[in-house]
Amino acid sequence: MKVALIGIGKIAQDQHVPAIHSSPDWELAATVSRKGSVAGVPAFDDLDRFLKERPDVPVVSLCMPPLPRFDYARAALLAGRHVMLEKPPGATLAEVHELEALARDRGLSLYATWHSRMAHAVAPAKAWLADKTIARGHITWHEDVRKWHPGQDWVFEPGGMGVFDPGINALSILTEILPRPVHLRQARLEFPSNRQTPIAAQLEFSGQITADFDWRQEGPQTWDITVETTEGTLALRTGGNVLEIDGRVVAGQSTIMGEYPALYARMAELVRTRSSDVDLSPMVHVSDALMLGRREITDAFHF
């Protein structure tokens, strides 16, 4: 199937393009971007022109920041295209609900992707926890914003989510592996004095689940989730790609490079069956944190 990438930035170049090129399901047939392009692929700088001139491309994958994404997704759906959304699926919950309804009414596929759910060890972790009694759990998600979003000031503007841009990856895993849902009880959010979104957050959920997100870590990055049960302790390392039970590695691979190929395989399945996959539970937790969180001002941040 032919697919177009809309928004050719770092995540598109690092993950989407290699995943599409390596897939037996997809051909990268076009790109739409004001600045970026992919060698050898027809490039457009205007979505409307692409939709008019390339009716042969039935699927679009949106990789731009969340704030402008709704208008692009809506236009694509109205033009009869199936739509794949980079995480988070939108800037607000309401706009994603509207896109879901539009896709359903037009018989099109809409996929709100969560790439961390495709990490190698997430499925076996979910299976191991399915019949366990959980005592407590904790997320430590510390990374360096300068490494992953170099100079991208939009992540600190309204709609950019700040530290919840990576933190929502952890929440997407948590909501996938827990046998029962949890809800947020309280949060503490650290806002740089010169920024509009938080650079760190500490969350407390029901079920004795806590989380510590920080975007200021230099050197080795930390993406860990531990869950203590009455039958042992589970730990997910490397962003959900390595599974340990009581300190022993039992599943997974220490690489994140399998996540996006799995997303595109899932999208191919959805398009073939004319179905959608839109789970907003990770985004609900972020929305709740921004609603309930106690705001604290910290040092100014500069790239």
CATH of the domain at 233: 3.30.360.10
Determine the pLDDT at residue 180.
96
Residues 147 and 294 in one domain: yes
- Does residue 265 sit within a domain? no
- Does residue 28 sit within a domain? yes
The CA distances from residue 288 to 1, 43, 91, 168, 282, in Å, are 38, 39, 14, 12, 10
Q: Residue 252's domain spans which residues?
A: 116-258+287-298
Residues 156-186 pLDDT 10s = 999 999 999 999 999 999 999 999 999 999 9
Residues 29 and 94 in one domain: yes
Mean pLDDT of 57-67: 95
Who's near 106: CB < 8 A, 6+ residues apart?
77, 78, 80
Given 54, 84, 112, the domain boundary residue is 112
Determine the pLDDT at residue 169.
98
248 pLDDT higher than 90: yes
- Does residue 228 sit within a domain? yes
Helices (H), the chain: 10-11, 17-21, 47-53, 69-78, 93-106, 122-129, 145-148, 164-177, 259-273, 281-292
Determine the Cα–Cα distance for residues 242 and 229; give it in Å rounded to an integer.
18
Determine the pLDDT at residue 268.
98
Paired tokens of 273: 């069956």
Exposure string of 169-191, with b = 16+ CB inside 10 Å and e = fewer, is bbbbbbbbbbeeebebeebbbbb
- Does residue 282 sit within a domain? no
Determine the pLDDT at residue 256.
78
Residues 168 and 291 in one domain: yes
Query: Residue 155: helix, strand or coil by DSSP?
Result: helix
Query: Residue 126: helix, strand or coil by DSSP?
Result: helix
CATH number at residue 50: 3.40.50.720
Query: Residue 34: helix, strand or coil by DSSP?
Result: coil
- Does residue 105 sit within a domain? yes
Q: How many CB atoms lie within 10 A of CB 131?
A: 9
Q: Return the minimum-mean-pLDDT range out of 55-64, 123-132, 232-241, 246-255.
A: 246-255
Residues 137 and 247 in one domain: yes
Residues 245 and 186 in one domain: yes
254 pLDDT higher than 90: no
Determine the Cα–Cα distance for residues 286 and 175; give it in Å rounded to an integer.
12
The answer to whether the CB of 69 falls within 8 A of the CB of 61 is: no
255 pLDDT higher than 90: no
Given 50, 84, 112, the domain boundary residue is 112
Residues 231 and 124 in one domain: yes
Residues 107 and 151 in one domain: no
pTM of the entire predicted model: 0.96
257 pLDDT higher than 90: no
Residues 251 and 131 in one domain: yes
288 pLDDT higher than 90: yes
Determine the pLDDT at residue 298.
98
Given 52, 86, 112, the domain boundary residue is 112
Residues 249 and 130 in one domain: yes
Q: Pick from 267, 217, 231: which is nearest to 58 by CA?
A: 267
Active site residue 87: yes
Determine the Cα–Cα distance for residues 58 and 111; give it in Å rounded to an integer.
14
Residues 179-222 pLDDT 10s = 999 999 999 999 999 999 999 999 999 999 999 999 999 999 99
Residues 32 and 176 in one domain: no
- Does residue 266 sit within a domain? no
Residues 204 and 83 in one domain: no
Give the chain's domain count.
2
- Does residue 27 sit within a domain? yes
- Does residue 152 sit within a domain? yes
Residues 171 and 292 in one domain: yes
For all residues of the chain together, what is the average pLDDT? 97
Using DSSP bridges, classify how beta strands 82-85 and 59-62 pair: parallel, antiparallel or unpaired. parallel
Mean pLDDT of 284-291: 97
Annotated catalytic residue, options 10, 52, 87, 132? 87
